[in-house]
């Protein structure tokens, strides 16, 4: 019997979809899944045919966090394990030069919740939910949850969600700003693909620089953000996409930001 790949990958219309594929464990993460996903992100970043990356889960779950039945990480300390697997994954997503959509098709728990929050765009199915489940097993939130969540909901709501490990359903997720859109389960995959294709038609260089600018601004002063904007605007303004955008505006037509080669 051939083992199932832990990550399924396919590209359609400039959209690279990476599917966590351990559905009988709600896509709980083992080292193979984490390392393969990180490597797939590196490949997607380097592939000019890929303009947007989608991360989603197979079956009824998105990702239930660390596989608690998998002891392969336990020859390392917790610190070593996080530094070797989860941290490079979250850094790869935040540092990717292309937009990453986390398409949360079901429950996202523990490090799976961190993964769900790490996308540039977060789309949830109606049956999706998020649980900062760590305190149920007396652990500290990791894989970026302590950074993402208070920035989205403030310290106090973040602390409550972490301390009580409450389940946030899709409508509350939308209200709290944990996702941008919620789509019905039966249309979810199609809606995600359509959204991703819309993003793929946008100016890739400008989006890459926008991501850089926002990531920088999130941890800096207004003064420094203004300086960085001025530098990045030069890079955007010197790019053919800008010329095309202005020409299209003057010619009263839609800009064409996708070029072969």
12's CB contacts (< 8 A; 6+ apart) are 193
Least CB distance from residue 81 to ligand LHQ, whole Å?
5
Q: Which is nearer to ligand LHQ, 140 or 194 (CB)?
A: 140
| Residue where the block lists tokens 């009824």 | 60
Least CB distance from residue 141 to ligand LHQ, whole Å?
8
Residues 26, 194: Cα–Cα separation, whole Å: 25
122, burial (CB in 10 Å: exposed 0-12, middle 13-18, buried 19+) = buried
Least CB distance from residue 145 to ligand LHQ, whole Å?
9
Q: Which is nearer to ligand LHQ, 178 or 196 (CB)?
A: 178
Q: Which is nearer to ligand LHQ, 15 or 33 (CB)?
A: 33
User: Contact residues for ligand LHQ (CB under 6 A)?
Assistant: 25-26, 28, 64-69, 73, 78, 81-82, 86, 107, 109-111, 131, 133-134, 136-137, 139, 142
DSSP secondary structure letter of residue 90: H
φ/ψ (deg, to 5) at 247: -60, -45
Q: Which is nearer to ligand LHQ, 15 or 89 (CB)?
A: 89
Least CB distance from residue 168 to ligand LHQ, whole Å?
12
**Containing H/E element for 20?**
strand 15-20
């Amino acid at each position: 019997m051939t083992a199932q790949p832990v990550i399924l990958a396919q590209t359609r219309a400039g959209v690279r979809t990476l599917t966590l594929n351990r559905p009988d464990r709600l896509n709980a993460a083992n080292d193979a899944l984490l390392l393969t996903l990180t490597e797939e992100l590196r490949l997607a970043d380097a592939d000019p045919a890929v303009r947007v990356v989608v991360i989603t889960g197979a079956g009824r779950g998105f990702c239930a966090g660390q596989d608690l039945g998998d002891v392969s990480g336990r020859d390392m300390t917790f610190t070593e394990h996080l530094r070797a697997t989860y941290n490079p994954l979250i850094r790869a997503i935040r540092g990717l030069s292309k937009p990453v959509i986390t398409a949360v098709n079901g429950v996202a728990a523990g490090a799976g919740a961190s993964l769900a929050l790490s996308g540039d765009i977060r789309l949830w199915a109606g049956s999706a939910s998020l649980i900062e489940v760590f305190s149920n097993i007396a652990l500290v939130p990791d894989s970026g949850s302590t950074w993402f969540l208070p920035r989205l909901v403030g310290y106090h709501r973040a602390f409550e969600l972490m301390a009580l490990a409450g389940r946030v359903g899709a409508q509350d997720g939308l209200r709290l700003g944990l996702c941008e859109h919620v789509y019905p389960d039966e249309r979810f995959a199609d809606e995600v693909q359509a959204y991703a294709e819309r993003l793929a038609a946008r100016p890739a260089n400008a989006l890459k620089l926008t991501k850089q600018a926002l990531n920088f601004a999130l941890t800096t002063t207004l003064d420094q953000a203004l300086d960085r904007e001025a530098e990045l605007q030069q890079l955007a303004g010197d790019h053919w996409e800008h010329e095309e955008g202005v020409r299209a505006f003057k010619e009263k037509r839609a800009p064409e930001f996708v070029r072969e080669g």
